């Protein structure tokens, strides 16, 4: 297992370097003067312009700028916001628990519904249930996030009044954050009704964000199960008279889980990307909304540092998925 982890880490190194090159080139490839872009509509004098260029290091050769930038990343310096003057890493760590909480809730919905739905569709292949599951999965995969989110807000929040429109918790509750996860902090606060308010604010964003991963996981689970159910060892297990639930749930599903885990890992990266739209629609104070606000504010150091931090998060998720491969399938670990 240690060799597997070290091998995957070795692969991640060139990926990380490639991400830093893209993030570094992002602001340099934009048309126009980067200093003027950072200053907005304000007009700088030539002296002030040269001073800012020197302070930001834009007057140095590109290779020197990149070396300094990469060295800062290695030491944990991801730059500072032009607007707030705070370190990008500090803002990211402050807002990331909100995005992680939303992503975990969305993935929980996707996995707990998607895998059983895919298994049922495979077992009942060709039936009305199979066709219904796959039709719903296709509709869910094709649903634009911004349209689906607004539709749910109009119906459940506007028409029925069951759920809040935006935010993480009602404004009547105020308590200092402990973990950054609103569900946990609301429980720790001891305030009556705080946890229920946090759950009600989380439901719609989690459903919207988890819809596409749910559809993908259901389709992948069905495909993997159909392949495994035709194997000799499954037919042998059935011939021995083992209960169908044991044959499907243990012998078949375990071997079908390797491609499903791959899909779940890939969808974890999608959740971080999809959170940008979801958090904007529901005014969810996470890194997605933070990045969108930075674009409108022309806060390019935040965008540059945020891209690298999000990429690092996705690479760590992929590493975790690779480790799960070895736990699920020993042949991968020993190979």
**In CATH, what number is assigned to the domain containing residue 254?**
1.10.3720.10
| Inside any domain, residue 10 | no
How buried is residue 49: exposed, middle or buried, by Cβ count under 10 Å (0-12/13-18/19+)? middle
Residue where a domain stops, chosen among 20, 52, 77 = 77
- Which domain covers residue 198, as residue numbers? 91-300
The answer to the question of residue 220 being in a domain is yes
Residue 75 pLDDT: 85
Q: Is 181 within the bounds of a domain?
A: yes
Give a yes or no: residue 287 inside a domain. yes
Query: What pLDDT does 64 receive?
Result: 85
Geometric angle at alpha carbon 30, from 27 and 31, rounded to 5°: 145
Residue where a domain stops, chosen among 53, 77, 101: 77
Residues 39 and 121 in one domain: no
User: Do 149 and 293 lie in a common domain?
Assistant: yes
Q: Is residue 263 part of a domain?
A: yes
Considering 13, 47, 77, which residue would you say is the last residue of a domain?
77
211 shares its domain with 289: yes
Residues 111 and 56 in one domain: no
Q: Which residues contact 94 (CB under 8 A, 6 or more apart)?
A: 180
How many structural domains does the chain have? 2
Domain shared by 52 and 96, yes or no: no
Residue 334 located in a structural domain = no
Which residues lie below 8 Å from residue 24, measured CB to CB, with a gap of 6+? 65, 66, 69, 70, 304
- Mark whether 124 and 39 lie in a shared domain: no
In the beta sheet, which residues pair with residue 87? 80
Give the pLDDT of residue 208.
92
Q: What is the pLDDT along the chain (335 residues), one digit of tens a residue?
A: 667 667 777 778 888 888 888 888 877 776 656 666 666 656 667 777 777 777 777 777 888 888 888 888 888 888 888 778 889 999 999 999 999 999 999 999 999 999 999 988 888 888 898 889 889 888 888 888 888 888 999 999 888 888 898 888 888 888 888 888 999 989 888 888 889 999 999 999 999 999 999 999 999 888 888 888 777 777 777 777 777 777 776 667 777 887 888 788 778 777 876 788 888 889 888 888 888 888 777 777 888 888 888 888 888 887 777 777 666 656 555 45
Q: Is residue 137 part of a domain?
A: yes
- Secondary structure (3-state) at 80: strand
Residues 111, 45, single domain; the answer is no
pTM of the model: 0.81
131 and 212 both lie in a single domain: yes
Q: Please enumerate in sequence order all residues whose Cβ is within 8 A of that of 145, keeping only pairs 6 or more positions apart, or say none.
A: 208, 209, 211, 212, 274, 277, 278, 281
Do 115 and 151 lie in one domain? The reply is: yes
Residue 175 lies in a domain: yes
Same structural domain for residues 219 and 133?
yes
Same domain, 160 and 248: yes
59 and 104 belong to one structural domain: no
Residue indicated by tokens 């370097």 = 17
Q: What is the pLDDT of residue 242?
A: 72
> What pLDDT, on the 0 to 100 scale, is given for residue 270?
76
């Amino acid at each position: 297992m240690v060799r597997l982890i070290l091998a995957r880490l070795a692969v991640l190194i060139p990926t990380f370097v490639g991400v830093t090159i893209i993030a570094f080139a992002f602001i340099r490839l934009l048309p126009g003067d980067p200093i003027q872009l950072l200053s907005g509509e304000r007009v700088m004098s030539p002296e002030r312009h040269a001073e800012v260029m020197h302070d930001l290091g834009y007057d140095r050769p590109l290779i020197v700028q990149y070396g300094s930038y990469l060295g800062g990343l290695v030491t944990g310096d991801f730059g500072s916001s032009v607007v707030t003057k705070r370190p990008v890493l500090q803002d990211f760590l402050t807002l990331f628990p909100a995005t992680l909480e939303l992503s975990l809730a969305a993935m929980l919905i996707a996995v707990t519904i998607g895998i059983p739905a895919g298994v049922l569709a495979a077992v009942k292949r060709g039936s009305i249930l199979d066709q219904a599951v796959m039709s719903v999965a296709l509709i869910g995969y094709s649903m634009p996030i911004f349209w689906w989110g607004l539709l749910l807000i109009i119906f459940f929040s506007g028409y029925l009044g069951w759920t809040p429109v935006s935010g993480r918790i009602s404004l009547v509750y105020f308590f200092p954050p402990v973990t950054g996860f609103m569900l946990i902090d609301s429980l720790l606060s001891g305030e009556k009704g705080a946890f229920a308010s946090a759950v009600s604010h989380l439901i719609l964003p989690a459903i919207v964000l988890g819809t596409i991963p749910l559809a993908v996981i259901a389709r992948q689970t069905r495909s993997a199960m159909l392949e495994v159910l035709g194997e000799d060892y499954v037919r042998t297990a059935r011939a021995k008279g083992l209960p169908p639930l044991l044959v499907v749930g243990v012998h078949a599903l375990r071997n079908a889980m390797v491609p499903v885990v791959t899909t779940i890992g890939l969808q974890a990266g999608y959740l971080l990307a999809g959170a940008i739209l979801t958090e904007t629609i529901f005014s969810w104070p996470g890194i997605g909304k933070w990045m969108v606000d930075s674009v409108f504010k022309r806060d390019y150091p935040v965008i540059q540092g945020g891209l690298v931090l999000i990429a690092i998060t996705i690479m760590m998720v992929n590493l975790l998925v690779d480790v799960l491969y070895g736990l699920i399938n020993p042949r991968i670990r020993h190979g």
